Amino acid sequence: MGILTQLEIENFKSYKGKQIIGPFKRFTAIIGPNGSGKSNLMDAICFVLGEKTSNLRVRSVKNLIHGAPIHKPVSNKAQVTAVYTEEDETEIRFTRCIVGSGTEYRINNKVIDKTIQYQEKLENLGISIKARNFLVFQGTVESIALKTPKERTQLFEQISGSGELQQDYLQTKSDMQSSEEDTTFHMHKKKGISAERRAAKAEKEEADKYLNVKDDLSTAQVHYQLFKLLYNEKKIENLSLTLDKKEKEVAKMESRCSNIEQQLRSKKQESAKVSREIAVLDKKIQEKEAEAIILRPQYIKAKEKSLHLKKRIDGLKYVP
Ligand code: ATP
Ligand code: MG
């Protein structure tokens, strides 16, 4: 961090003509009797940093010119240059001049069109007159000591520059709270979605399982039908073979049957023939019986005669 190394004051307040004050060290004390111009030096620093006139203990900017309060200005212009030396020894010269009733700013003797650019350059070095974080005016220590805790907090906020950020801080805090609420909401939503996703995954797995089982069932049914078909084909084959065998047996039976019928017919014919012959023989027997009936008496007679003859023969026994 650099430091203020020198002040070049020209016709500013109690400093008449061109006065070079410095070089300043990192710690420099300025001492002097009352009214010797110590506070005017502070005013010169404030002036060159862009402080508004009312804070420089004068009514108008013109009164800052040496001799003006007693209506005897030594010049119509006054200026203050602050020499700022950076760590690498680079010097930056900030100048503020009183020109007429206004002021003009220069950086390294180059006129700056817009005051804001001059302030930005200072702020880039960490110097902000608005923050009042480096200038302690006369009576300030006493007034700080008399402040209430709340006022002191406000002062620290002003000095640290955090006061300017209060609005941003509150806005950011509110944004953060709403972001946290959003995050919580989205977390819950995410949890819900995760649970839904898990349930959907489980359902999908179950559906996949069902489809797999269905596929397995279809395959098993196809296998079953194929087996059934194969079994039926085998059965048909076996039945065909059995049918062939049976047909052959039937043909054999039919052939045997026709032979038997043939034989039956011939036997019937033979039987008819025999019946006829029997009838003829019966007729002959009847005729012979009738004949026998007729001849019986003759037979009995003949038999008796035979017996008689025999007896005679027996009576006529041979006697030698
Ligand atoms: P103290 O120790 O009392 O605080 P100081 O050293 O801070 O004193 P300053 O306030 O810096 O003193 O100086 C005050 C003196 O500066 C007064 O005498 C006043 O007349 C003089 N002064 C202020 N403005 C001008 C001006 N425009 N032209 C000439 N002299 C001025
Ligand atoms: Mg003083």
The rounded distance, in Å, linking the Cα atoms of 66 and 43 is 13
Is any atom of ligand 1 closer than 6 Å to the C-beta of 57?
no
- In this structure, which ligand is nearest to the CA of 40? 1
Contact 42, 137 (CB under 8 A): yes
**Length in residues, the chain:** 320
Angle at 178 between CA 172 and CA 180, to 5 degrees: 100
Which one of 11, 13, 46 would you pick to mutate in the ligand 1 pocket, going by the greatest count of ligand atoms within 8 A of its CB? 13
CA 1 – ligand 2 centroid, Å: 28
Whole-structure pTM over 0.75, yes or no? no
Q: What is the pLDDT, as a whole number, of residue 319?
A: 54
Is any atom of ligand 1 closer than 6 Å to the C-beta of 34?
yes
Rg (CA), the chain: 78
Of the candidates 90, 95, 118, the one whose C-alpha atom is nearest the C-alpha of residue 45 is 95
Look at 23-27, 62-66, 163-167, 265-269 and tell me which has the smallest mean pLDDT.
163-167
Q: Which atom of ligand 1 is nearest to the CA of 33?
A: 2
Summarised one tens digit per residue, pLDDT across range 66-103 is: 999 999 999 999 999 999 999 999 999 999 999 888 89
Q: Which atom of ligand 1 is nearest to the CA of 35?
A: 12
- Scanning the chain, the segments in alpha helix (DSSP H) are 38-48, 115-124, 140-145, 149-160, 166-315
In this prediction, residues 24-47 reach a mean pLDDT of 93
pLDDT surpasses 60 at 318? no
CA 49 – ligand 1 centroid, Å: 20
Phi, psi of 226 (to 5 degrees): -65, -40
- In the CATH scheme, what architecture does the domain 3-129 have? 3-Layer(aba) Sandwich (3.40)
Q: What is the pLDDT, as a whole number, of residue 132?
A: 67
Look at 71-75, 163-167, 241-245, 251-255 and tell me which has the smallest mean pLDDT.
163-167
Alpha carbon nearest to ligand 1 atom 2, residue: 34
pLDDT surpasses 90 at 157? no
Summarised one tens digit per residue, pLDDT across range 274-297 is: 889 989 988 998 888 888 888 888
Contact 28, 35 (CB under 8 A): no
Alpha carbon nearest to ligand 1 atom 14, residue: 35
Please, what's the b/e burial string for 109-123 (b: 16 or more CB within 10 A of its CB; e: otherwise)? eeebeeeeebbebbe
Using pLDDT thresholds of 50, 70 and 90, give the confidence band for residue 133: low
Provide the 3-class DSSP secondary structure of residue 83.
Answer: strand
Give all strands of the β-sheet with 15-21 in edge-to-edge order: 15-21, 3-12, 77-85, 91-99, 102-107, 110-112
CA 34 – ligand 1 centroid, Å: 8
Summarised one tens digit per residue, pLDDT across range 190-203 is: 999 999 999 999 99
Structure token digits, residue 263: 């034989």
CA distances from 44 to 68, 102, 159, 191 (A): 16, 16, 20, 65
The rounded distance, in Å, linking the Cα atoms of 69 and 79 is 17
In this prediction, residues 251-262 reach a mean pLDDT of 90
- In this structure, which ligand is nearest to the CA of 136? 2
Using pLDDT thresholds of 50, 70 and 90, give the confidence band for residue 306: confident
CA 73 – ligand 1 centroid, Å: 15
In this prediction, residues 130-140 reach a mean pLDDT of 75
Q: What is the pLDDT, as a whole number, of residue 312?
A: 86
CA 178 – ligand 1 centroid, Å: 56
In this prediction, residues 214-222 reach a mean pLDDT of 94
The rounded distance, in Å, linking the Cα atoms of 143 and 159 is 15
Evaluate the CA torsion angle 267, 268, 273, 277 in order and state its sign: positive
CA 13 – ligand 1 centroid, Å: 7
pLDDT surpasses 80 at 159? no
Q: Which percentage of the chain shows pLDDT scores above 70?
A: 98
Is any atom of ligand 1 closer than 6 Å to the C-beta of 39?
yes
Q: What is the pLDDT, as a whole number, of residue 96?
A: 96
CA 15 – ligand 1 centroid, Å: 9
Omega within 30 of 0 (cis) for the link into 23 = yes
Summarised one tens digit per residue, pLDDT across range 100-114 is: 888 999 999 999 988
pLDDT surpasses 80 at 320? no
pLDDT surpasses 70 at 148? yes
The rounded distance, in Å, linking the Cα atoms of 130 and 158 is 8
